């Protein structure tokens, strides 16, 4: 599979595929591995047959910090095929993570991944590759075990009744665990056999999570931290309990989690662990025995220990029975726990509903130093969230609908439309079993087909279930009969996630089950994963016009698919032209380059030797590049200007670091191709040309476009060395193209640096190029640089771009 890359040629010469090293695993049999500090084993593998519905990969070890990565169908990069030496290994932790479709990377050496036929990248018959890394400075010993199964296991929702904490300034934030062991005598109630208050409380919570677990059928355990606190209350009103997931995250080029079905989109940690088949710390890293990582708990729920005291709600108590509460003057503990924990499982819309936090309807972004997401003054983002991506705004006539989060620019958020939908319902009818709400214009984007009385029928969007949308979310009593929060609740009477609880609340998830299934909790077999397939050509970012990425397909290998050379033609800090090169494969729709420099750099610069007529890489540029072509339109980088008519998009993440590894500049750019392959002329002269192995270190790409009656257009980027051997570039563009006719070479008199504000192009001629396409392709070049010119006369060309 390997490519031999004589970078001295600037352009590649392809090698022949060869086998990569691999180690077969026997199902269920541990493979022992000795890990020195900072070492890895690549491509252990397990063959899975068509009967398998679940694959579990476990690492059990001591010492060090062994992490495990898993991918289907094609192998991880392999030390057997790179320039590894004792001092300059060719693989980094980062690279392996990018190849991994699943990972478990806690700070211990005990890891686990569960992939099922319902996973985003589903378990499929064939070969699954495993790489394990000890990324610590200590040695480790570990075993790797892969176990396929024809059945999907169901894990429990576990409860952490420990890990108390106190908050000196705000006791309502305490986690008091003493009420779980309250010895006050109690009479068994509603099949709850507990004879003490503490036991009844614990039994009821365990019953609640058991009901959820049985309906979720998650193969991954979910842990809930259960607390009490004095949340207070008055004679007429009190908080009974509150809950939330312990963190949120998204997948992007900086920390890819390919198992999330939506990239660049917020998920709760419960969804991330569920879809990733791993634990909190398996997904994010860290120590799940520490408070910083919430002891590995994915949800935290706090009950009000003042409930039942005489001064609060007239002494109205919690009801702890397993059977539904038929009383109208007590609070159903199990229904409350199920409802609140379900919010923590991901039944949570992140669009802003708090006017003090920013515009109503705003999407969630990041502001440096903030302790949660922010809704204004973003330093990064904002991003959609997966709940909101399933919501639609229905038109006032009820006949049509638009996405709650549509394709919209960061500078032009459609907050107003979201606000209108979130305040579209206020008609309430009191019934004997609770309040009935009229349909709202804020709806879940699928008819869920559950058997509820009054459930909407008909064609979409009439059949879409409504979400709670009070007329004024900040004044909860103005239009509705009681409190309730918008967006993250249904209005289906009797449903678990209704904004209001009813007497005799059912302990079934109702609409929450299919809604959560659409957000990562599905147990149905998933279709094969589909990844973006970029194509050869010149790509650029509308927001950074003048810079570009010449992305050239140069090979296809059996094991690693398409191989590309990527020329990043750009400007340095002074606005002068400069360029870098990377080479790598497109793995699952992501361009992942090879490591060239001992510093891990993947963007390399060359130094040209005019005597030898070749260039050698200046490897330690500190540069890196990754281009993700999957769902790029979701990314903030692609929403800073209108790209709705783009042919295809990719997020090009680039960075440069100093010799100490400190990042000096970085960016996420949204790149798109100048043309499609279908627009290429016939015959297509496009390609990547250079002077052959005896005259390398320079070259040019050609984009050959059929412009119909306007004639053939040839667009070329010439890469050549300046007086100091530094690679620079110029552009030639001719339409209609006339073979053999001299074309001006163009440069900007003053470009703008990668992190500078774009400036208008000021084109000046920098020489000429004459292209002769025929039986033998030749070029004549006079390319200027300060103090001289790079010249070639009728030089024969080799085209790499057609291989």
Partner 1 sequence: MRMIFLLAPLLAANASAAEQTAVQAQPLLLPVGLQTEAKAMVKPTAVSSPKIHATEATLNSDGTLTVGCVERPNPHAVKSPIKTISPEPQQ
Interaction residues for partner 1, span 277-316 (CB under 8 A): 283-285, 300, 313-314, 316
- Using the minimum distance from each CB to partner 1, give the nearer residue, 402 or 755: 755
Could you say which of 329, 396, 431, 433 contacts partner 1 (CB under 8 A)? 329
Site for partner 1, residues 124 to 163, rule: CB under 8 A: 132-137, 141
Please tell me whether residue 750 binds partner 1 under the rule CB under 8 A: no
Stretch in the footprint of partner 1 (CB under 8 A) among 14-22, 510-518, 572-580, 644-652: 14-22
Query: How far apart (Å, rounded) are the C-alpha atoms in residues 186 and 170?
Result: 31
Q: Any residues with CB less than 8 A from the CB of 28 and at least 6 apart, and which?
A: 145, 146, 147
Query: How far apart (Å, rounded) are the C-alpha atoms in residues 772 and 62?
Result: 65
Stretch in the footprint of partner 1 (CB under 8 A) among 368-376, 387-395, 718-726, 774-782: 368-376
| Integer angstrom CA distances of residue 603 from 590, 594, 616, 730 | 16, 9, 13, 19
Query: How far apart (Å, rounded) are the C-alpha atoms in residues 575 and 757?
Result: 11
Could you say which of 58, 245, 630, 635 contacts partner 1 (CB under 8 A)? 245
Site for partner 1, residues 385 to 424, rule: CB under 8 A: none
Site for partner 1, residues 55 to 114, rule: CB under 8 A: 65, 67, 77-86, 88-95, 97, 105
Minimum CB–partner distance for residue 3 and partner 1 (Å): 3
* Sign of the dihedral defined by the CA atoms of residues 319, 322, 323, 324, in that order: positive
Please tell me whether residue 600 binds partner 1 under the rule CB under 8 A: yes
**Long-range contacts, stretch 569-573, CB < 8 angstroms, 24+ apart:** 569/717, 569/719, 569/729, 570/754, 571/546, 571/547, 571/748, 571/751, 571/752, 571/753, 571/754, 572/753, 573/753
Please tell me whether residue 331 binds partner 1 under the rule CB under 8 A: yes
Buried b (16+ CB within 10 A) or exposed e, 736-749: ebeeeeebbbebbe
Site for partner 1, residues 707 to 726, rule: CB under 8 A: none
Query: How far apart (Å, rounded) are the C-alpha atoms in residues 378 and 359?
Result: 13
Site for partner 1, residues 221 to 240, rule: CB under 8 A: 235-240
Q: Let me know: does 314 contact 328? Beta carbons within 8 Å.
A: no
Q: Give me the 466-505 binding string for partner 1, x by CB under 8 A, dash otherwise.
A: ----------x----xxxxxxxxx---------xxx----
Minimum CB–partner distance for residue 561 and partner 1 (Å): 11
Minimum CB–partner distance for residue 137 and partner 1 (Å): 5
Could you say which of 11, 31, 123, 275 contacts partner 1 (CB under 8 A)? 31
287, with CB counted inside 10 A (0-12, 13-18, 19+), is: middle
- Using the minimum distance from each CB to partner 1, give the nearer residue, 35 or 569: 35
- Using the minimum distance from each CB to partner 1, give the nearer residue, 40 or 779: 40
Query: How far apart (Å, rounded) are the C-alpha atoms in residues 197 and 336?
Result: 17
| Integer angstrom CA distances of residue 694 from 16, 395, 588, 612, 781 | 21, 67, 36, 8, 17
- Using the minimum distance from each CB to partner 1, give the nearer residue, 260 or 730: 260
* Gyration radius of the chain over CA positions: 30
Q: Any residues with CB less than 8 A from the CB of 595 and at least 6 apart, and which?
A: 82, 90, 91, 92, 95, 601, 602
Query: How far apart (Å, rounded) are the C-alpha atoms in residues 723 and 219?
Result: 63
Binding residues with partner 1: total (CB under 8 A): 154
Could you say which of 423, 583, 675, 696 contacts partner 1 (CB under 8 A)? 583
Minimum CB–partner distance for residue 403 and partner 1 (Å): 21
- Using the minimum distance from each CB to partner 1, give the nearer residue, 363 or 726: 363
Which of left, alpha, beta for 417 (phi over 0: left; psi -120 to 50: alpha)?
alpha
Q: Give me the 606-635 binding string for partner 1, x by CB under 8 A, dash otherwise.
A: ----------------x-------------
Please tell me whether residue 34 binds partner 1 under the rule CB under 8 A: yes
Site for partner 1, residues 634 to 663, rule: CB under 8 A: 640, 657, 659-662
Minimum CB–partner distance for residue 747 and partner 1 (Å): 23
Minimum CB–partner distance for residue 527 and partner 1 (Å): 28
Could you say which of 184, 185, 369, 611 contacts partner 1 (CB under 8 A)? 369
458, with CB counted inside 10 A (0-12, 13-18, 19+), is: exposed
Please tell me whether residue 444 binds partner 1 under the rule CB under 8 A: no
Site for partner 1, residues 168 to 197, rule: CB under 8 A: 170, 172-173
The closest of 1, 49, 70, 95 to 600, measured between CA atoms, is: 95
Could you say which of 69, 161, 295, 560 contacts partner 1 (CB under 8 A)? 560
Q: Give me the 754-793 binding string for partner 1, x by CB under 8 A, dash otherwise.
A: -xxxx-----------------------------------
Please tell me whether residue 531 binds partner 1 under the rule CB under 8 A: no
Q: Any residues with CB less than 8 A from the CB of 350 and at least 6 apart, and which?
A: 248, 266, 363, 364, 373, 385, 387, 388
Site for partner 1, residues 337 to 366, rule: CB under 8 A: 339-340, 343, 348, 350, 353-354, 357, 364, 366
């Amino acid at each position: 599979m390997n490519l031999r890359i004589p970078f001295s040629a600037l352009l590649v010469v392809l090698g022949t595929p060869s086998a990569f090293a691999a180690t077969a695993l026997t199902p269920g049999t541990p493979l022992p591995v000795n890990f020195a500090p900072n070492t890895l084993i690549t491509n252990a593998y397990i063959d899975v047959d068509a009967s398998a519905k679940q694959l579990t990969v476990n690492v059990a070890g001591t010492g060090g910090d062994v992490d495990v990565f898993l991918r289907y169908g094609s192998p991880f990069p392999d030390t057997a095929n790179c320039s590894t030496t004792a001092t300059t290994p060719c693989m980094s932790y980062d690279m392996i993570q990018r190849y991994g479709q699943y990972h478990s990377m806690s700070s211990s050496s005990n890891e686990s991944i569960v992939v099922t036929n319902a996973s985003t990248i589903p378990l499929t018959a064939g070969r699954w590759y495993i790489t394990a890394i000890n990324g610590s400075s200590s040695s480790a010993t570990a075993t790797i075990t892969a176990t396929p199964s024809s059945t999907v296991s169901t894990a429990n929702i576990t409860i952490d009744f420990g890990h108390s904490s106190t908050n000196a300034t705000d006791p309502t934030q305490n986690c008091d665990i003493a009420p779980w062991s309250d010895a006050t005598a109690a009479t068994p109630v509603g099949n709850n056999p507990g004879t003490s208050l503490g036991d009844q409380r614990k039994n009821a919570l365990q019953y609640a999570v058991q009901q959820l677990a049985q309906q979720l059928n998650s193969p991954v355990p979910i842990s809930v931290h259960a607390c009490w606190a004095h949340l207070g209350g008055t004679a007429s009103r009190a908080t009974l309990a509150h809950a939330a997931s312990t963190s949120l995250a998204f997948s992007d080029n900086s920390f890819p989690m390919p198992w999330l079905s939506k990239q660049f989109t917020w998920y709760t940690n419960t969804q991330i662990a569920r879809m990733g088949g791993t634990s909190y710390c398996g997904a994010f890293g860290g120590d799940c025995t520490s408070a910083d990582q919430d002891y590995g708990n994915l949800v935290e729920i706090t009950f009000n220990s003042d409930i039942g005291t005489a001064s609060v709600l007239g002494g109205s108590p919690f009801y702890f029975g397993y059977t539904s509460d038929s009383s109208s003057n007590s609070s159903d503990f199990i229904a409350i726990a199920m409802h609140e924990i379900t919010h923590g499982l991901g039944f949570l819309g992140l669009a802003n509903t708090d006017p003090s936090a920013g515009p109503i309807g705003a999407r969630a972004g990041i502001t440096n130093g903030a302790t949660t997401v922010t809704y204004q003054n973003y330093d990064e983002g904002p991003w959609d969230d997966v709940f909101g991506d399933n919501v639609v705004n229905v038109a006032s006539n009820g006949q049509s609908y638009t996405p709650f989060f549509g394709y919209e620019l960061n500078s032009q958020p459609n907050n107003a439309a979201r606000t209108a939908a979130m305040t579209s319902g206020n008609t309430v009818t009191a019934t004997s079993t609770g309040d009935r709400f009229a349909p709202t214009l804020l709806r879940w984007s699928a008819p869920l087909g559950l058997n509820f009385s009054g459930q909407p029928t008909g064609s979409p969007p009439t059949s879409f279930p409504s979400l709670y949308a009070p007329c004024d979310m900040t004044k909860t009593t103005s239009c509705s009969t009681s409190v309730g929060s918008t967006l993250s609740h249904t209005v289906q009477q009797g449903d678990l996630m209704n904004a209001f609880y009813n007497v005799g609340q059912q302990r079934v998830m109702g609409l929450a089950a299919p809604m959560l299934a659409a957000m990562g909790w599905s147990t149905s077999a998933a279709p094969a994963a589909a990844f973006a397939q970029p194509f050869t050509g010149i790509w650029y970012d509308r927001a950074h016009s003048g810079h570009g990425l010449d992305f050239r397909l140069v090979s296809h290998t059996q094991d690693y698919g398409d191989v590309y050379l990527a020329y990043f033609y750009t400007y340095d800090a002074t606005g002068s032209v400069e360029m870098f090169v990377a080479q790598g494969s497109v793995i699952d729709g992501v361009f992942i380059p090879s490591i060239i420099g001992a510093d891990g750099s993947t963007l390399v610069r060359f130094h040209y030797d005019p005597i030898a007529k070749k260039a050698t890489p200046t490897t330690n540029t500190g540069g890196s590049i990754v281009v993700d072509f999957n769902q790029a339109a979701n990314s903030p980088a692609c929403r800073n200007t209108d790209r709705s008519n783009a042919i295809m998009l990719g997020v090009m993440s680039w960075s440069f670091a100093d010799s100490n590894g400190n990042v000096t500049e970085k960016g996420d750019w949204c790149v798109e191709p100048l043309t499609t392959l279908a627009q290429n002329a016939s015959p297509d002269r496009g390609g990547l040309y250079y002077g052959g192995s005896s005259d390398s270190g320079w070259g040019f790409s050609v984009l050959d476009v059929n412009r119909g009656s306007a004639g053939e257009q040839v667009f070329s980027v010439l890469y050549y060395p300046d007086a100091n051997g530094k690679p620079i570039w110029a552009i030639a563009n001719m339409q209609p193209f006339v073979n053999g006719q001299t074309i001006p070479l163009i440069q900007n008199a003053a470009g703008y640096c990668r992190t500078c504000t774009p400036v208008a192009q000021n084109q000046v001629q920098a020489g000429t190029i004459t292209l002769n396409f025929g039986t033998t392709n030749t070029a004549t070049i006079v390319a200027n640089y300060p103090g001289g010119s790079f010249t070639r006369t009728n030089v024969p060309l080799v085209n790499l771009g057609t291989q």
